[in-house]
Structure 1
Amino acid sequence: MNRFLIGAGMAAMLATGVVVPAGAQQGAPLEGRVGRLESEMRAVQRKVFPNGAGQMVEPQISPSTPTPSPVGVPASSAVADLSSRVTSLEQQMASMTGQIEMTQHKLRQLEEQFAAYRTATDAKLSAAPAASGAVPAADVAATGDVRVPTAPRPASTPTPAAAVAGVEKPNTGDAAEDAYLYGYRLWSAKKYPEAQAQLKKMVADYPKSRRASFAQNLLGRAYLDDGKPSLASIAFYDNYKKYPDGERAPDSLFYLGSALMKLNKPADACKVYGELTDVYGDKISAGMKADVAKARTAAKCK
């Protein structure tokens, strides 16, 4: 935009400050064109600066000092050059005016679209409270002259959270403890898939908690009780490897042997029972020692 304002200022300067020594009779039409340009520029200024029509953008360049024409050059060349420059200014002014009008048109369109959107939104918000207690038109069926409401739509499929709503979540103040106890309650309620998801999450969220060994071991038992001995064996083995000093590491080795027996791998089960005795023989209870002895007999371990 500055370029056009500068051009108009230069044209005005040329019209008032340039002395044409010859051919002045050809400058009269130019003066009219320059005057018209100045008028159009003021109109553009009013569009661009509606609250300050008197503002003018200062030119970024200053006019160069006119160089005297060499002796012998026809005076009409200066008039021709001025005419060319004024023509260029007219073309630029026309282009600028067209761009301003196009921008204003787009702005009006945006304003109209936003006004329509706001009206529609306000109407929906106003209608919502009134319609909350009414039967929707789509739920009304015509039967002769009597219109009766159709049967209510079926409820959506219950989410896992809704399916285990009967299992109370603990609130001891210890997040890790609560996470494990909730998984334990789900397992006790025989909601095995939900228990598996909860126990895996507990181990992932609190891997350094004392209860991580409990949760990983119980995850294996949830798989085992759910008829998934392969997944159970992985969960038990992971507990033994990740938490060898955990309180449920010996239990995981024992149940790993049980999972291997279900997978018809008695030889591997015997190795696991041997590992359990070698590593935790002096730590396991008398009851577990008796269970290990029975399991070795069932697996026909040597």
Structure 2
Amino acid sequence: MTRYLTVGAGALAVLAAPVPAFAQDNNDEARLRKLEAEVRALQRRVFPGSEGRYFEPEITGQPRQNQATVATPSTTAVTDILSRLDALESQIQRLTSQYEEGSFAVRELTARVEALENRGAAASPALSAPSTTGASRPAGTVQSGAATPTPAAAARPDPARVAAVQAIAKPQTDDPGDDEYSYGFRLWDAGFYPEAQQQLTMFVEKYPNHSRATYGRNLLGRAYLDDGKAKEAAPWFLRNYQADKAAARAGDSLLYLAETMIALDDQSRACIALAEFNETYPALAAGRLKSQYDANRGKVTCN
């Protein structure tokens, strides 16, 4: 299909090219012959012949005659050029039409293959759903049906969870950026951490300069941290702190970065983050975030 797209674009480019004023001389005749040669080469690329790609080539136009016998008293060189140019344009239009028909046939074939695959998956033997709690099955326990669920069955979302996520309303105000952040916050607050991660990632990438961006990056780190993914959380906390140290949630992110390092059993970096937090944000360390700061300090031994 990539080859057909390239060929189709080339054909359209040939058709769209401006046509210079033709003079009755050998240079114009040579340029027209070159154009005809390019169209024939284009036909050979679209219709490779032995490969049998969708359609047989349609070769149009009159057979080439010797230049000495072309001219007649009633036909001028300009008339001959225009006639041959019309033939070229007709060929390009047919090539474009056949390319579009070939593209449609490929899309139809792809849709049929996907439908057959879906029917095959639906007709497979019933499988026991994996435990949603993630607890391991006791040794010796045998599931009914196949021993291992297919990837399609394992990836099928829990209908109850889908319904619960859909029940969380997305705000609709005149600030779409704030709506996206608020929806991510609601997902996180409801405990739907993977969904919140996806929503907040979309928000911070789409609205990097929004006034809520510092809140979004910090909350995205928390969504990963609360989901037990400390390695994924750390880069977001660090990025938010470094993006603007005076931002509303930069101090929070630095303190959460220390907490993330503690979760990763990296006391050295945790101590560095805690020391920098206390030095850079003394008001937060003694005020709004004091209890969290003291709790993290109690988990490590710093020099």
- Superposition TM-score tier, normalisation by shorter sequence: 0.3 to 0.5
TM-score w.r.t. the length of structure 2 is 0.46
Larger radius of gyration: 1
